[in-house]
Amino acid sequence: MTESRADAFDTFYRDTARRLTRYAYGLTGDPGEAQDLVQEAYARAWQRWRRLAGYDDPEAWLRLVVNRLSSDRWRRIGVRRARAAATAAAPPVAPPSENTVLLVGAMRTLPADQRRALALHYLLDRSVADVAAELGVAEGTVKSWLSRGRTALAAALSPVVAQGARDAR
């Protein structure tokens, strides 16, 4: 029995949505923005589903869309800040954990290439070879980005870790 186009897309969505949202969150550091990026990526995927369903890895196409949407977001950030200042305050939401805030803050200081490599490798559990193929770079480049990213994260988080160690005494 052949699966309908809508059923195939629904299955694809169920199988990939959580990973893609984690990836988008790793790029943006904002859960709401991550959900917006993912929603837009899936809307675009649905419009192209007949062609996209034939791809070897349609999820990679979605990540590419999320990457591009995320880049566009940074270009528009000034406009969004102005709009946010003009609107009423949003209802209170439970804050993220302190560790999440610290990690996301540290991730935001990284160059986009390192942030993407770390998000793909650690948040989506992709191999170095998979990350290299997806980003269109050599494996050595990915290893370098991962190493530099980890080093930068360690440096950014070391004062926090040191303070935690002092507090634990």
Q: Structural domains in the chain? A: 1-93 (1.10.1740.10), 95-169 (1.10.10.10)
Residue 50's pLDDT band, with cuts at 50, 70 and 90, is very high
**Looking up tokens 């360690």, which residue turns up?**
154
**Residue 33 predicted with pLDDT over 80:** yes
Going by the DSSP 8-state scheme, the letter that residue 54 receives in this structure is T
State what percent of residues in the chain have pLDDT above 70. 85
Angle at 122 between CA 72 and CA 127, to 5 degrees: 100
Least confident of 30-34, 93-97, 162-166: 162-166
| pLDDT of the residue at 15 | 95
Interatomic CA distance for residues 103 and 100, integer angstroms:
5
Helices vs. strands in the chain: H and E counts, helices first: 8, 0
- Name the pTM for this structure: 0.59
Least confident of 62-66, 83-87, 159-163: 83-87
**Model pLDDT for residues 3-14, shown as the tens digit of each residue:** 788 999 999 999
**Residue 29 predicted with pLDDT over 80:** yes
Per residue in 103-132, is it b (16+ CB within 10 Å) or e — as a string? bbebbeebeebbbbbbbbbebbebebebbb
**Looking up tokens 């999820």, which residue turns up?**
59
The length of the chain is 169
pLDDT greater at residue 35 or residue 85 = 35
Which token pair is 13? 């969505």
